[in-house]
Chain A
């Protein structure tokens, strides 16, 4: 790894000395957490709270681009010092090194990439290599990729490599081929079709683990697992006037999958169908989505299916609304790999300028839908309504209501949890511009659930002096915990301030955070309770 690092640095300076047309860009993200034990909320019992008391995570990226040469290269230094991003409930993780390096060169219509790269086919159902560092996700592929522009509207790309695993690699080999195009038909109709195929080949060591587990399972459940698994995908986006229709179907050949933790492997093929239809015109928009997933578990190895994000090669997009407000975002369903039938409807209406209504409905079931018990056996249901009102140039408000029905046992098991958590969350937000630079924002939210954490109140006040300074104070008060919670009247307060100088942003905060499932784009992980100080720097150049 040191040789690679030296090579990239030399390459960078060599490039600089030869041609001044290129430019360097990059960014730094640094976060320090300081832990203060707080047994009342469960922020204890790990070595972060008992002994270590602090952790630091940092990503420093340096890229060089020379458009005259059609050449790009980059390197990223990752540092995890007593980190708890990857496995927050376990011991600290310490490692540092080159988290990403790549070189890329254009040759007329061909682009070649070597090193770590991020990419996806279609919506990512068959293949998506991406990074979400604060969820502990870095699914880069390390290998070579070639993209060939067949003509102005069509390209083909292929790659072969292995998936990154923190600062090393998973051993199974991944190959992929994708053809995508753009077909204009008349003035108002366009098609953007694509097809892709993926192949994952297991290594002997991973296969031995799987084979041993199958040999140890009951005789009637045993089968010969496959070294090679193939995924085929076909997709198309149609734009016709105000209409947009996207559809993707993917099929995975049979392989060993973990249908449920602790159960024997099963030999199953998988499929996903995902579609969205949107109509949009000035002041009005409506989007309907549907997804059906059936045994579409696609990881570097079946043995990696034990956790939500380990070894993932693909990404199944979520259907439900992605909420950002603190309390309405508490109950989010993770996209399911084994089975899920989901639909959603999003509606936006602006009857007059400054007044906008948003309505959203989503519902998620298992695949064996029984019409007689349809309303009762859903996994997730959300009804959301808000009203944005720009009262004047200085004052605007957001008010709304959310209802969620959430099968906590299904999404957060295997511990026995409530199967029917019904949550009601009204919310209100006010933003007021004091002058051109100063503004103040306030949020007030309430949440009521008969189970889980029970009733919450959340309030936040934020003061900004653009573009440099921001300070906020908030409290999330669990004033009436649910019957299964031993905690009483806990306050989860936070104080946050940031200062921006040029492109550098410094922040420091005190946070008392409740445990919970944190989801971003349908990818979820358990975020344990936290109590302490968080400080860091974000900068780009």
Chain B
């Protein structure tokens, strides 16, 4: 009898371990993305010169991260020192990111997806420089190394030159029409094209050292990944001197139904992502010129 009780107990343990609670699953984006208005390509009659690549600088931050204001300052400094060459995106993932009372939540699903799939991000501030693995690490946790790694990357040439333009934007309708022109100075294998929306001048509380600061200004906060965080398939292979032109339209209300975002402080970010997760090139433009 004792043996049977033991057996039933053991079986109950095993079976209960097989079936646990309902799972939530990973983040899947079911929202409508961008509408494609133009999608064309041609071969340039003149050779396309190679340009150096820009840097997608993704900084992980959080309102409850005591050292993050120092990280934000370093990002702003790098951005200012390399005008037009550095594309900053401040990512507020869950870790140390829970909002203070009455503040808006700077976190979002895409931020967590970036942190989880390309991280893990177990420290903040920390950053990706073109999502490259540098000395065995993708996540750079030492602020003092950021500037040098950005400089290294800026000195590299890219096979694709990016020109990102806002064709039109309507503050009333909260809609945006934009065009990306990709000019290939060299042939390329499979890669993706991605778009993010960021916003600056967001005011919330922030922990700074041991001080709870009110009215802290956040810059370049990731608001939305219009495409998947790895971008969307662009091409399996592209010939040298190819020019691809794409034009899209989005309605911000599709992403921000509560109209929290301020278009006048927002940026559109574009990037080219390779199959090894590295960012090949990036560009940024203000939504309202």
User: A-side interface residues toward B, CB under 8 Å?
Assistant: 148, 150, 156, 158, 175, 177, 197, 199, 204-205, 207-212, 214-216, 219, 222-228, 230
Contact = CB atoms under 8 A, between A and B. Distances in A.
Given A150-B7, A227-B23, A227-B25, A212 B117 contact: yes
Interface string B1-34: 0000001001100110111100101111110110
A158 B14 contact: yes
Q: What 8 A-B pairs come out closest when comparing CB atoms?
A: A208-B117, A215-B228, A211-B26, A224-B25, A216-B228, A199-B18, A224-B28, A158-B14
A267 to B, nearest CB: 11
Contact of B29 (A148, A158, A204, A222): A222
Contacts of A205: 117
22 contacts: A156-B11, A177-B14, A177-B15, A177-B18, A207-B26, A209-B117, A211-B28, A211-B113, A212-B113, A212-B230, A214-B28, A216-B192, A216-B227, A222-B28, A222-B29, A223-B28, A224-B26, A225-B26, A225-B28, A226-B25, A228-B23, A230-B19
B201 interface: no
Nearest to A230: B18
Interface in B40-78: none
Contact of A148 (B7, B18, B20): B7
B232 interface: yes
Most chain A Cβ neighbours within 10 Å, of B19, B26, B29, B32: B26
Contacts of A148: 7, 10
B116 interface: yes
Contacts, number: 73
B39 interface: no
Contacts of B11: 156, 177
A177 B28 CA distance: 32
A208 B26 contact: yes
Given A177-B15, A215-B28, A227-B25, 14 more contacts: A148-B7, A148-B10, A158-B14, A175-B18, A205-B117, A208-B26, A208-B116, A211-B113, A211-B117, A215-B29, A222-B29, A225-B25, A225-B26, A230-B19
A228 B17 CA distance: 12
Q: How large is the interface on B (under 10, 10 to 19, 20 to 34, 35 or more residues)?
A: 20 to 34
B256 interface: no
Contacts of A175: 14, 17-18
A205 B113 CA distance: 11
B229 interface: yes
B10 to A, nearest CB: 8
A150 B116 CA distance: 45
A225 B29 CA distance: 12
Contact of A216 (B15, B26, B120, B233): B233
Nearest to B20: A228
A145 to B, nearest CB: 12
A107 to B, nearest CB: 13
Q: Which of B18, B30, B120 counts the most A-chain CB atoms under 10 A from its CB?
A: B18
Contacts of A204: 116, 120
A540 to B, nearest CB: 37
A197 B15 CA distance: 9
A226 B192 contact: no
Contacts of A207: 26
A219 B28 CA distance: 10
A199 B17 CA distance: 9
B88 interface: no
Contacts of B192: 216
Contacts of A150: 7
A53 to B, nearest CB: 30
Contacts of A215: 27-29, 113, 228-230
B231 interface: yes
Indicate the member of A150, A209, A211, A228 with the most B CB atoms within 10 Å: A211
Contacts of B28: 211, 214-215, 222-225
A211 B28 CA distance: 7
A156 B228 contact: no
A179 to B, nearest CB: 9
Interface string B197-229: 000000000000000000000000000000111
Contacts of A230: 18-19
